[in-house]
Amino acid sequence: MDKKQAKERIEELRKKTEYYAEKYYDDDKPEISDFEYDMLMVELRNLEKEFPEFQSKESLTQKVGGHVKEGFEKITHEVPLQSLQDVFSLEEVEEFDNRIQEKAKENQIEKVVYVVETKIDGLSAALEYKDGEFVIGATRGNGLVGENVTNNLKTIKTIPQKIKDKINITVRGEVFISKSDFEKMNQEREENEEELFANARNAAAGSLRQLDSKITQKRPLDIYIFNVQKIEGKEFNSHYEELEYLNKLGFNVNPVRIYCNNIEEVKNAIEKIGEMRENLTFGIDGAVIKVDNLKFREILGTTAKTPRWAIAYKYPPEKKETILKDIVCQVGRTGVITPMAILEPVKVAGSTISKTTLHNEDFIKQKELKIGDTVVIQKAGDVIPEIVEVKKEKRTGKEIEFEMPKVCPVCGAKAVREEGEAAIRCTGIECSAKLFRNLVHFVSREAMNIDGLGESIISQLLEKNLIKDISDIYFLKFEEISSLKKNGKKFAQNLIDSINKSKENDLYRLVTALGIRQVGVKAAKVLARKYKTIDNLINATYEDLSKINDIGPIVANSICEFFNQGQTIDLINKLKTAGINMKSLEEEITDNRFEGKVFVLTGSLETLTRGEASNIIEKFGGKTSGTVSKKTDYVLAGEEAGSKLDKAQKLGIKIIDEEEFKNMIK
């Protein structure tokens, strides 16, 4: 490679590593694996070494990645939180030892001792204690300046608020989420149709860097302390001695720390940690080798980015070949149909893998997967198994193309993929896989508003087989409900009263409760006003529906598909038998004075809630919007109106107060 090519490649690698580091450190959403990123950094470091004239302080080989997130107070670290030089072979470990031994001879140090620890896969943080009390905590940030996350760190149960000695000390640790907790979090997110965390490290980082500590408190964060950054009134000779002292103070110290008398013991320790890695409750991405002698560390010194007395050995991701025996589909609680790979069992990174998610139809197409293929399995972040490659050269011609089902594998209802979505969903309202989520939505405040029927009660009713579909809510007996709680008679009576009250709801609430895709409260009100009864809505044609303002062709298609399902009609008939109101209770208003007009509401009104004002506007044929634009006709502004009022003034939109609005509706 000539100088011109080297310069171009170095610039390209710097842009790539900056981008991927930003996604990893700042956004907590990595786009490539740790190993792929490490390989880019190795290439960049080697090129900069070969062509020193192109070295730069702005390169990530010379500085720590990460920036302070907006919204956090900046904390300057008195002792920088540096990163470690990564190595990927035992030969590089030996080279590190050779450099250390040379320095030891120069400084007449007879013996070099090392401590090898697990490199925990999490987010680094510094904790400062004054007179033994935890006062401030910060993320690493760029190593020199971090984010003040004190309140978030206080939610972590393994961080002591007081330590046993009344001393001033700053310690460094790694915040992480255990493997089992990470799996639970992603399982819950999958059920809730939320984006999955890429790995435990980014889940931990995202949780710690929340602006609201109440969110952090709900996340299962833990921490291991691995270093004394600064201490007053005490001196230590060795790092191992420091760790023992931290343990006595009550800190949750990194549990894997191996004392090594020479480089051979270091290599054995690396191998030992590699073997135990899969059985550890927390994720690691390497082993850290540190010089134990603290005074020798001072002699060895540091670069701008890394200490010269420590390195991190990174374990390569383990990959194995196996056979994709079958693809089966599972239905989640929200109706999303997820394809699962059934594999010939294979041991990867210490555990036997026999199945893994294939995410969605697009993933299967991108990988060009066929049943019977030889595939390569890897554990993402050493936790989640994934298919990373298909060995097409091993195909025999007997492989079978896979197609996503056209009907739900659980209930047989039509399975659809909405435009712009990757997921395929079951449309059946009585599908047993979706029942819990459908029940929660049906009884919610915006829908049938059945007070007292929360998630825990619904779970109990399902566990006791007291509910098999939505309509069963209206046939629950007093004795059945009271059995759910100790002294549950009052609770049972209140719930039955609430259930009976919901029978009198307006039609729009029932339409909302049915959970038709794309149909929220606003659209449900439009449909209830237009069609007056559930039967009229059931018989509405696609052509009629698609012409309605606020409905349109996509929503019209969802409505038609929903009411064409036998399960839907079956449920509505059961609800009719239960005595549920099926008509619009809204007085018919022929006055369409606001037809074609768009209102935006901002601030607090004196005599009306914003919901009541919206209902009035809609009754008179108008529309409400959450954003001000050139299409806005009126901005109804109450007290403490904010940026929407400012924007309306700039655009010259007519601004009215509550009194003017009342005059308009007289």
CB distance 534 to 431 below 8 Å: no
SS3 of residue 37 by DSSP: helix
DSSP classification of residue 22: I
Distance set, CA 50 to CA 4, 54, 91, 346, 497 (Å): 13, 9, 20, 42, 80
SS3 of residue 553 by DSSP: helix
Tokens 């309306």 correspond to: 648
Nearest alpha-carbon partner for 258 in 100, 118, 119: 118
- Work out the burial of residue 230: count CB atoms within 10 Å of its CB; fewer than 13 is exposed, 13-18 middle, 19 or more buried: middle
Q: In the annotation, is 119 catalytic?
A: yes
What is the CB neighbour count within 10 angstroms for residue 628?
Answer: 21
Q: CA–CA separation, 191 vs 423, rounded Å?
A: 13
Q: CA–CA separation, 561 vs 415, rounded Å?
A: 10
Q: CA–CA separation, 502 vs 579, rounded Å?
A: 10
CA dihedral 358, 279, 34, 174 (to 10 degrees): 130
Which residue is catalytic, options 119, 379, 623, 644? Answer: 119
Tokens 């794309």 correspond to: 518
SS3 of residue 526 by DSSP: helix
Q: CA–CA separation, 130 vs 128, rounded Å?
A: 7
Nearest alpha-carbon partner for 438 in 584, 534, 567, 526: 567
Q: Which residues contact 20 (CB under 8 A, 6 or more apart)?
A: 30, 31, 32, 37, 40
The distance in angstroms from the start CA to the end CA of the chain is 82
Q: Which residues pair with 175 in a beta bridge?
A: 123, 223
Q: CA–CA separation, 378 vs 362, rounded Å?
A: 20
Backbone angles phi, psi at 574, to 5 degrees: -65, -40
What is the CB neighbour count within 10 angstroms for residue 294?
Answer: 16
Helices (H), 371-421: none
- Take residue 235 and report the two structure tokens written for it: 């001196």
CB distance 506 to 485 below 8 Å: no
CB distance 113 to 100 below 8 Å: no
For the annotated catalytic residues, the residue numbers are: 119
